């Protein structure tokens, strides 16, 4: 199937979805039918490519450290600085574990079976080991088997807390193991770490001063957490962290809700902060951050497809999509500034190479499901937004998103046949789960001002759009 046929197929699915929901899109006419789709509205079948003999991937072995001379057990755990240079909070500062350690770090894995990378850390690894080479090799082999703070949509992202103590190397890979490592929760830093491990965000260092206090039997802490991602909903929690490490919710309330939906992302990308006085400015600032995440996602896609031996046309399309998203960032920043909002750039993390299954799974969830829905919402908005500047910007974005959705199906057509039957079924299950999550999130009502100014669909129409899309894709 040619690039043009895939784009026509994407347009036809979107048009049929809009028609099924009883609405039209910007520019409105139905695209011509192509041989890429059947005579009736049915689940879409992508063409099958011949599988390769093996799944290529790329790995790199870091150099080992030189050996030390004698074991030395630490007398105290390094404390570190709670306030990072960027104003964020180091969740490993101020710990007093049951037994002192000479190094403690957050170990992260992005994708089941993927390599582990070091996140925040305090101290020097293996500084007290008799043989630093052996100790460092053992540390590099640590992976969160169960993990906590499971997040980083799409897919799978888990964390553990690794440490070294003389010759000993360990990893707390579950909440219970973390509690055992820390012992009684008797410092502010340990309360912060337990809340973070349960998926809560503690804010900036300055904010934390007013949000954390010691009470009888533990600590009270106010945090935030994203409780829905389409539309984005942020809830505020008041927590009580007890001496035994339990994190109890005292109260919860929705703090903010915007019409911005998390679009294509890549596992491990954390969005930067936004500021705004006007809900419309906040919405477009969040959109700018999502577009920045999409730039990273398409750059990673191009690199990983190249490592997997993808055809040149797919690599060019991924690079073009990255350039589209860079333009979208500028457009959303301009709209954000129009309504007194602001977003802050953030750096792309370093990524370990992934195999075909993880790449295909992310593509299925982020591209085939979410970008298809994103294109629908964009086409809806560019017809209904009251503000003409908003309509014009969203019209261009929506047309690009149609091509991005078509690219997702082209990648699936090339990559998924190279997987095992069990892996293909797992990907089909992931798409169904992503669609179920999408339907759940569409039930939330956006801000009324955003429905008017930005043309967002209300909950009823969002459910209609998503439901019709799911029917055409065989997911409903």
Is residue 22 scored above 70 in pLDDT?
no
Give the pLDDT band (50/70/90) at residue 151.
low
Q: Looking at the structure, do residues 457 and 376 belong to the same domain, yes or no? A: yes
Structural domain contains residue 69: no
Indicate whether 98 belongs to any domain: no
* Tokens read off for 443: 């039930």
d(CA 385, CA 388): 7
Q: Are residues 363 and 446 located together in one domain of the fold?
A: yes
SS3 label, residue 234: strand
Rounded distance between C-alpha atoms, residue 303 and residue 297, angstroms: 10
pLDDT computed for residue 35 by the predictor: 36
Which pLDDT band, with edges at 50, 70 and 90, does 33 fall under? very low
Around Cβ 16, how many Cβ atoms within 10 Å?
Answer: 18
- Residue 55 pLDDT exceeds 50: no
pLDDT confidence tier of residue 168, bands split at 50, 70 and 90? very high
Three-state secondary-structure class, residue 173: coil
pLDDT in tens, 77-116: 999 999 888 778 899 999 999 899 999 999 877 655 566 7
How far from 65 is each of 61, 118, 121, 347, 416, CA to CA, in Å?
Answer: 12, 16, 18, 28, 40
Whether residue 292 sits in one domain with residue 222: no
The reply to whether 218 falls in a domain is yes
Domain stop point among 233, 256, 279: 256
- Total domains in the chain come to 2
Q: Give the span between the Cα atoms of 165 and 181, in whole angstroms.
A: 12
Separate counts of helices (H) and strands (E) for the chain: 13, 10
Query: What is the distance between the alpha carbons of residues 114 and 353, in angstroms, rounded to a whole number?
Result: 8
Residue 55 inside a domain? The answer is no
The reported pLDDT for the residue numbered 232 is 60
178/315 same-domain check: no
Same domain? 378 vs 444: yes
- With H, G, I as helix, E, B as strand and everything else as coil, classify residue 165: strand
Write the DSSP assignment of 10-38 as a string of letters: HHHHHHHHHHHTT---TT-PPPPP-TTS-
pLDDT digits (tens, 9 = 90+) for 113-135: 566 778 889 999 999 999 999 99
Are the C-beta atoms of 233 and 202 separated by less than 8 Å?
no
- Please indicate, yes or no, whether residues 186 and 155 belong to a single structural domain of this protein: yes
Domain C-terminal end among 225, 256, 287: 256
Answer whether residue 203 is part of any domain. Answer: yes
Say whether both 340 and 410 belong to one domain.
Answer: yes
Q: Which residues pair with 165 in a beta bridge?
A: 168
Average pLDDT for 160-176: 93
> What pLDDT score was predicted for residue 161?
94
Quickly state the pLDDT bin for 51 (edges 50, 70, 90).
Answer: very low
**pLDDT, tens digit, 9 for 90 and up, residues 315-369:** 999 999 999 999 999 999 999 999 998 887 777 667 778 899 999 999 998 888 8
The DSSP secondary structure of 93-161, one letter per residue, reads TT---SS--SEEEEEEEESTTPPEEEEEEEE-TTTT-S-HHHHHHHHHT---SS-BS--SSSS-EEEEE
What pLDDT score was predicted for residue 229?
55
Report the range out of 62-66, 219-223, 439-443 with the highest average pLDDT.
219-223
2: number of Cβ within 10 Å: 11
Res. 158: pLDDT tops 80: no
**What is the arithmetic mean of pLDDT over 61-85?**
76
Are both 250 and 297 inside the same structural domain? no
β-sheet bridge partners, residue 222 = 238
**Same domain, yes or no: 467 and 438:** yes
Same structural domain, 303 and 383: yes
Q: Is 376 exposed, middle or buried (0-12, 13-18, 19+ CB in 10 A)?
A: buried
Distance CA 342, CA 283 (A): 10
Confidence of residue 264 (pLDDT cuts 50, 70, 90): low
* Sheet (strand 212-215) strand order: 212-215, 218-229, 232-242, 247-257
- Residue 442 sits at φ, ψ, to 5 deg, of -65, -15
Q: What is the mean pLDDT of residues 293-308?
A: 92
List the domain range (segments joined by +) for residue 213.
Answer: 103-256
Q: Tell whether 386 and 276 lie within a shared domain.
A: yes
Predicted pLDDT of residue 69: 67
Q: Is residue 438 part of a domain?
A: yes
Give the mean model confidence (pLDDT) for residues 224-252: 83
Question: Is there a domain that residue 415 lies in?
Answer: yes
Task: Let me know if residue 53 belongs to a domain.
Answer: no
User: pLDDT confidence of 298, banded at 50, 70, 90?
Assistant: very high
Percentage of the chain exceeding pLDDT 70: 76
User: pTM of the predicted model, to two decimals?
Assistant: 0.56
Where among 256, 290, 322 does a domain terminate? Answer: 256
Least confident interval from 305-319, 381-395, 439-453: 439-453
**pLDDT surpasses 70 at 9:** no
| Whether 420 and 286 share a structural domain | yes
Q: Mean pLDDT, to the nearest integer, of 53-71?
A: 51
- For residue 338, give the CATH number of its domain: 1.20.1260
The Cα 93–Cα 197 span in angstroms is 14
């Amino acid at each position: 199937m040619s690039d043009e046929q895939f784009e026509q197929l994407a347009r036809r699915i979107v048009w049929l979805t809009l028609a099924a929901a009883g609405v039209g899109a910007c520019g409105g006419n139905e695209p011509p039918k192509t041989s890429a789709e059947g005579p009736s509205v049915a689940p879409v079948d992508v063409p099958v490519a011949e599988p390769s003999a093996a799944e290529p991937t790329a790995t790199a072995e870091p150099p080992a450290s030189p050996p030390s001379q004698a074991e030395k057990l630490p007398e105290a755990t390094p404390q570190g600085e709670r306030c990072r240079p960027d104003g964020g909070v180091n969740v490993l500062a101020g710990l007093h574990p049951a037994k002192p350690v000479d190094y403690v770090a957050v170990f992260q894995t992005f994708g089941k079976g993927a390599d582990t990378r070091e996140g925040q850390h305090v101290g020097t690894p293996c500084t007290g080991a008799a043989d630093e080479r052996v100790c460092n090799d053992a540390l590099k082999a640590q992976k969160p088997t169960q993990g906590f703070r499971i997040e980083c949509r799409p897919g799978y992202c888990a964390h553990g807390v690794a440490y070294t103590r003389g010759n000993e190397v360990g990893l707390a890979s579950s909440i219970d193991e973390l509690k055992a490592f820390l012992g009684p929760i008797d410092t502010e830093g340990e309360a912060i770490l337990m809340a973070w491990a349960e998926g809560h965000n503690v804010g900036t260092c300055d904010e934390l001063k007013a949000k954390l206090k010691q009470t009888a039997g533990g600590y009270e802490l106010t945090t935030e957490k994203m409780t829905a991602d389409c539309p984005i909903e942020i809830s505020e929690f008041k927590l009580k962290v007890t001496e035994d490490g339990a994190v109890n919710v005292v109260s919860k309330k929705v703090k903010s809700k915007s019409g911005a939906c998390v679009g294509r992302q890549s596992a491990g990308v954390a969005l930067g902060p936004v500021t705004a006085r006007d809900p419309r400015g906040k919405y477009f600032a969040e959109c700018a951050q999502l577009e920045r995440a999409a730039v990273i996602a398409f750059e990673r896609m191009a690199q990983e497809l190249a490592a997997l031996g993808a055809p040149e046309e797919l690599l060019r399309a991924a690079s073009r999509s990255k350039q589209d998203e860079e333009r979208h960032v500028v457009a959303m920043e301009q709209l954000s500034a129009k309504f007194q909002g602001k977003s802050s750039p953030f750096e792309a993390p370093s990524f370990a190479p992934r195999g075909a299954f993880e790449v295909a799974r992310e593509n299925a969830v982020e591209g085939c499901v979410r970008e298809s829905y994103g294109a629908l919402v964009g086409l809806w908005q560019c017809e209904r937004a009251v503000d003409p500047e908003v309509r014009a910007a969203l019209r261009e974005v929506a047309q690009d998103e149609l091509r991005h959705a078509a690219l997702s199906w082209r990648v699936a057509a090339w990559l998924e046949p190279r997987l095992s039957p069990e892996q293909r079924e797992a990907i089909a299950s992931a798409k169904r789960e992503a669609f179920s999550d999408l339907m759940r999130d569409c039930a939330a009502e956006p801000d009324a001002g955003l429905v008017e100014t930005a043309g967002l669909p209300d909950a009823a129409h969002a459910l209609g759009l998503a439901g019709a899309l799911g029917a055409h894709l065989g997911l409903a």
